[in-house]
Amino acid sequence: MRDFFTDDDKNKFQELLKGNAFYRIRVPSNVLNPTGKQYIVSSVKAQCLPGHGLEEHFVIHMEGVNILAVNYGAPHGACPNPRQLKLPAKTCQDSFD
């Protein structure tokens, strides 16, 4: 599930768009016993997400309960040039089912 974007979240995302910066995610490295100290971080250009309503593509590489890496990005073909400089339509709670 995605939490609703607050006004602050929307402003921060807009700054990422303007700066052609990366939108980052962070997940605990151990899914059963998260320590709050070890994380896996991945990112995608923020400008690649709005075109498809903030659709994201995740590939999680694991060994047992440990996350080794996360490939994170927009769906194939979702990052054309020129890129959009607007907030995605879906800035509310979405399901990743």
Examine the pLDDT at 3 and tell me if it is beyond 50. Answer: yes
Q: In whole angstroms, what separates CA 84 from the centre of its chain?
A: 16
Label residue 45 by pLDDT band (50, 70, 90). Answer: confident
> Tell me: the pLDDT tens digits for 52-94?
567 788 999 999 999 999 999 887 766 766 655 666 665 544 4
> Tell me: the pLDDT tens digits for 11-24?
998 999 889 899 99
Examine the pLDDT at 41 and tell me if it is beyond 90. Answer: yes
**Which whole-number Å values give the CA distances from 30 to 13, 24, 40, 60, 63, in the listed order?**
28, 19, 9, 12, 10
pTM for the model: 0.71
